[in-house]
Structure 1
Amino acid sequence: MGKILEVRMPKYPECWDSCGNCRTGEVFVQSVLVCAGETVKFDDTLIVLETGKVALDIPCPHSGTVVEMKVDEGEPIDQGELIALVEVD
């Protein structure tokens, strides 16, 4: 059995607070692209965010097997929130 790592929402770009062109209102999960049991590679997209003006892919920082997704479509999400648990070798 491998090590289970947390995948968390990365920090929002600083420009979202300064100019606000890419982000209007709440940021939420538009799509969840993987589910528990699926194998993912480094940089595979786990979820897609909706920021009000743009959609943003959130990639997996590890290769491994998804143990559990911790977010659902339509939910608001903030930086630092837990997205998934991934088992790596």
Structure 2
Amino acid sequence: MSGPIEVRMPKYPECWESCGNCAQGDVFVLELLVQAGDTLARDDNILTLETGKVALDIPCPYAGTVREVFVCEGDVLAEGALLLTLDPS
């Protein structure tokens, strides 16, 4: 039996480093779209990020049931930050 799957903040787009225009300011959670107990399909959106210039939906790379959410609206996120854990479906 496998344990929970960790879903982490993906790598920011490379263009953010070269241009930097879209990623001005802190990258924070604008809207949290899931909560513990929700069932997700692969690619369902889990949160919306705000970068100061753009809003960006972050999809879930796995299917499963949300066990625990580790971020809140307004949280500033870094690459690799733990977003949630899933029980695989």
Please give the range of the TM-score, normalised by the shorter of the 2 chains: over 0.9
**CA RMSD, 1 decimal:** 1.1
Instruction: Tell me how far apart the structure 2 counterparts of residues 81 and 28 of structure 1 sit (CA, whole Å).
Output: 12
| Secondary structure in 2 matching 1:66 | strand
Relative to the length of structure 2, the TM-score reads 0.95
| Secondary structure in 1 matching 2:43 | coil
Q: How many residues align?
A: 89
Give 1:61's aligned amino acid.
P
Shift of 1:2: 5.6
Aligned residue number for residue 54 of structure 2: 54
Identity %: 56
Shift of 1:3: 3.2
Relative to the length of structure 1, the TM-score reads 0.95
Shift >2 Å, 4+ stretches: none
| Secondary structure in 2 matching 1:22 | coil
Greater strand share, 1 or 2? 1
Q: Which structure 2 residue ranges, 5 or more long, are not aligned? A: none
Give 2:41's aligned amino acid.
K
1:12-64 C-alpha deviation (Å, 9 max, x unpaired): 11110110121111100000001000101000000100000000000001111
Aligned residue number for residue 5 of structure 2: 5
